[in-house]
Amino acid sequence: MTESPVKRLSGRGRFISFEGGEGSGKSTQIKKLKERLDAAKLRNIVTREPGGSPGAEIIRHLVLSGMGKLLGPDAETLLFAAARDDHVRTVIQPALAQGSWVLCDRFSDSTRAYQGRLGRVPPALLNAMQRVTIGDLEPDLTFILDVPVEIGLKRAAARRGSAAPDRFEAEDVKFHHELRDAYREIAAAEPERCVLIDASADANTVASSVWAALRDRFFVSTPANEASPA
């Protein structure tokens, strides 16, 4: 019997998060990765933060409308924590327990970057909220899509068309440069979990880089005459 090219993993699924600034292409890359996993017959779900569950989606609306900014960074962090708690309990943990791969558009690194680095929320508060909401849960692999600020903002503007920018898209250029720096620092600090991907190339090239990194992490090499997920 030919051994599966998938590494011998536990029954738990795999948790993959995508991070990056505005216009970095997270949604596009998640869609392309889902197509790859579907082709490899690996059960998966796609979700997002803030949001991903009914309760969290309500909070998402409040945050992106600007309500969180009006309340201040500490209160905004609490809103994100409440949304994440609901999301993890009702969507992420059940999916992982059932053996599904979870592809998540943003997770706790976003809180570290946006509220921690840019909102100057004290690390003690961030750590406390993480213990309450996710405990020791963290992504098995995090893709940080890195793109120059000017390119990302141009993409974001093209994506929304005539719609008004949301709470974070509306921030000034300095904010977005600091955000990019924050994400790059996270990638450098946790190389075992995070992979920094140059997202300035075309979507298919970026998708190839994402798949190569995931394949190297989770799939064993196979003899040349055997098929493997492509």
Q: Which helix (H) or strand (E) holds 141?
A: strand 141-146
Beta strands in the chain (DSSP E): 15-20, 44-48, 101-105, 141-146, 194-198
Specify whether the backbone of 122 is left (phi greater than 0), alpha (psi in -120 to 50) or beta.
beta
Q: What is the pLDDT along the chain (230 residues), one digit of tens a residue?
A: 334 444 434 467 899 999 999 999 999 999 999 999 999 999 999 999 999 999 999 999 888 887 777 888 888 889 999 999 999 999 999 999 999 999 999 999 999 999 999 999 999 999 998 998 999 899 999 999 999 999 999 988 888 888 877 778 788 899 999 999 999 999 999 999 999 999 999 999 999 999 999 999 998 654 444 445 66
Domain 15-218 has CATH 3.40.50.300: yes
Q: What pLDDT, on the 0 to 100 scale, is given for residue 156? A: 87
pTM: 0.86
CA distance 92 to 226: 33
Query: Are 84 and 49 contacting, i.e. CB atoms less than 8 angstroms apart?
Result: yes
Domain boundaries, the chain: 15-218
